[in-house]
Amino acid sequence: MSAGRLRLLTLHGLRLVGLATPEAVAEIHDLDPAAVGEELHRQSVEGLVSPARGDGGRWTLTGPGRRHGEELLGRELVAAVAEDGTPGRSVVTAVYHRFLQLNQPMLAVCTNWQIVNRDPIELNDHSDPDHDNAVIAALGDIDDSIQPLCAELESMLTRFRRYRPGFTEALHRLRIGETDWLTKPTILSYHTLWFQLHEDLLATLGLERAAETARLNGNPTSDRPKGTPETNPGIRLEPRACRPHPRQSDSQLTDIPLTDRRKDSS
CATH code (residue 8): 1.10.10.10
* Better-predicted residue by pLDDT, 134 or 120: 134
* Better-predicted residue by pLDDT, 231 or 21: 21
What is the total count of domains within the chain?
2
Which pLDDT does position 55 carry in this prediction? 67
When pLDDT is averaged across residues 221-234 and rounded to a whole number, the result is: 41
* pLDDT tens digits, 9-47: 999 999 999 899 999 999 999 999 999 999 999 999 999
Which pLDDT does position 209 carry in this prediction? 79
pLDDT of 231 > 80? The answer is: no
The verdict on 215 and 149 lying in the same domain is yes
The verdict on 57 and 95 lying in the same domain is no
Cβ-contact 182, 174 below 8 angstroms: yes
When pLDDT is averaged across residues 69-75 and rounded to a whole number, the result is: 96
Which pLDDT does position 253 carry in this prediction? 31
CA end-to-end distance (rounded Å), the chain: 37
Residue 198 lies in a domain: yes
When pLDDT is averaged across residues 216-238 and rounded to a whole number, the result is: 43
Which pLDDT does position 226 carry in this prediction? 52
Residue 228 lies in a domain: no
The verdict on 122 and 207 lying in the same domain is yes
Question: Which one of 74, 98, 115 terminates a domain?
Answer: 74
The verdict on 66 and 173 lying in the same domain is no
The verdict on 96 and 215 lying in the same domain is yes
Give me the phi and psi of 18, to 5 degrees please.
Answer: 85, -50
Cβ-contact 77, 88 below 8 angstroms: yes
The verdict on 63 and 92 lying in the same domain is no
Q: How far apart are CA 60 and CA 18, in angstroms?
A: 6
> Around Cβ 137, how many Cβ atoms within 10 Å?
11
* Better-predicted residue by pLDDT, 5 or 209: 5
Largest alpha-carbon pair distance within the chain?
Answer: 56
The verdict on 101 and 211 lying in the same domain is yes
The verdict on 106 and 162 lying in the same domain is yes
The verdict on 107 and 146 lying in the same domain is yes
* pLDDT tens digits, 146-184: 999 999 999 999 999 999 999 999 999 999 999 999 999
Structural domain including 54 reads 3-74
Residue 263 lies in a domain: no
The pLDDT confidence band at residue 213, using thresholds 50, 70 and 90, is low
Residue 255 lies in a domain: no
- Smallest CA-to-CA distance from 247 within 233, 258, 235, 234 is with 258
**Integer CA distances (angstroms), 115 to 132, 156, 175, in order:** 10, 38, 18
The verdict on 52 and 119 lying in the same domain is no
The pLDDT confidence band at residue 217, using thresholds 50, 70 and 90, is low
Q: How far apart are CA 256 and CA 245, in angstroms?
A: 6
What pTM was estimated for this model as a whole?
0.80
Which pLDDT does position 67 carry in this prediction? 95
Q: What percent of the chain has pLDDT over 70?
A: 79
The verdict on 96 and 146 lying in the same domain is yes
pLDDT of 261 > 80? The answer is: no
Which pLDDT does position 212 carry in this prediction? 65
Residue 260 lies in a domain: no
Residue 256 lies in a domain: no
The pLDDT confidence band at residue 214, using thresholds 50, 70 and 90, is confident
Which pLDDT does position 208 carry in this prediction? 84
Residue 148 lies in a domain: yes
Cβ-contact 116, 122 below 8 angstroms: yes
Give 92's contacts (C-beta < 8 A, 6+ positions apart): 77, 153, 156, 157, 201, 204, 205
The verdict on 45 and 153 lying in the same domain is no
Residue 248 lies in a domain: no
